[in-house]
Chain A
Amino acid sequence: DAKTTQPPSMDCAEGRAANLPCNHSTISGNEYVYWYRQIHSQGPQYIIHGLKNNETNEMASLIITEDRKSSTLILPHATLRDTAVYYCIVRPDSGSARQLTFGSGTQLTVLP
């Protein structure tokens, strides 16, 4: 799986958009970008994934650059409950039964 690089920590004011960057410069053409988050002492939670088009769901938006070497996860209106470690993961297949390889992630702290 391609390696990802994320900032170790970020702060965001409650109610503002949180923009979490991820670099994946060695991504291959068939690799998807996945985002998961882990709230303290809980199991990870899926957020969103994409291949090359921007994606949006009820939780977040995913913006992938045209060259696919980086992406940004956007939480449009961050709340205190969004405080968590956010993991950007690159993997070959969508929907395959393959394990996830977690990096160190970004600790997002939403401030009141």
Chain B
Amino acid sequence: GAVVSQHPSWVICKSGTSVKIECRSLDFQATTMFWYRQFPKQSLMLMATSNEGSKATYEQGVEKDKFLINHASLTLSTLTVTSAHPEDSSFYICSAPRRSYNEQFFGPGTRLTVL
């Protein structure tokens, strides 16, 4: 079964609004989670690394004031897209490494459409 969940699975919003996406590790604790973005017909691009109890680290070119990340517990990281615009429309995916496993577990993704 799924070990990482995301909510919502899809969202449509108006330009200028903020959208929060949740990423949960279901049966394990994750001190680190990763947020990726995927545009149509492109590969996944890492946006930021979410660290429990500390600030997220952002990849070059990703605006930290626009994509707010909060990792307040060992099982939950949230990504808030502030003042969303149509160019933010994308597929957002989170992942979490699981201790003692050699793989990362990915969430099912969230499809964001900004009108």
Residues of B within 8 A of A102 (CB): 36, 43-45
Least CB distance from A95 to B in Å reads 5
Could you tell me if A97 and B103 are in contact, using CB atoms closer than 8 angstroms?
Answer: no
Interface size in chain A (residues, C-beta < 8 A):
22
Interface residues on B, range: 20 to 34
Which of A41-49, A61-69, A71-79 is found at the contact surface with chain B? A41-49
Could you tell me if B93 and A104 are in contact, using CB atoms closer than 8 angstroms?
Answer: no
Which of B11-19, B74-82, B107-115 is found at the contact surface with chain A? B107-115
Q: Is B34 an interface residue (CB 8 A)?
A: yes
Q: Which 8 A-B pairs have the closest CB atoms?
A: A43-B106, A46-B103, A97-B97, A102-B44, A102-B43, A97-B32, A95-B102, A44-B106
- Interface residues of chain B, those whose CB is within 8 Å of chain A, are 4, 6, 31-32, 34, 36, 43-46, 49, 91, 93, 95, 97, 99-109, 111
**A44-B95, A46-B104, A97-B31 known; 16 other A-B pairs, CB under 8 Å?**
A34-B103, A41-B91, A43-B95, A43-B109, A44-B93, A46-B103, A46-B105, A95-B99, A96-B97, A99-B34, A99-B49, A99-B95, A100-B46, A101-B46, A104-B43, A105-B43
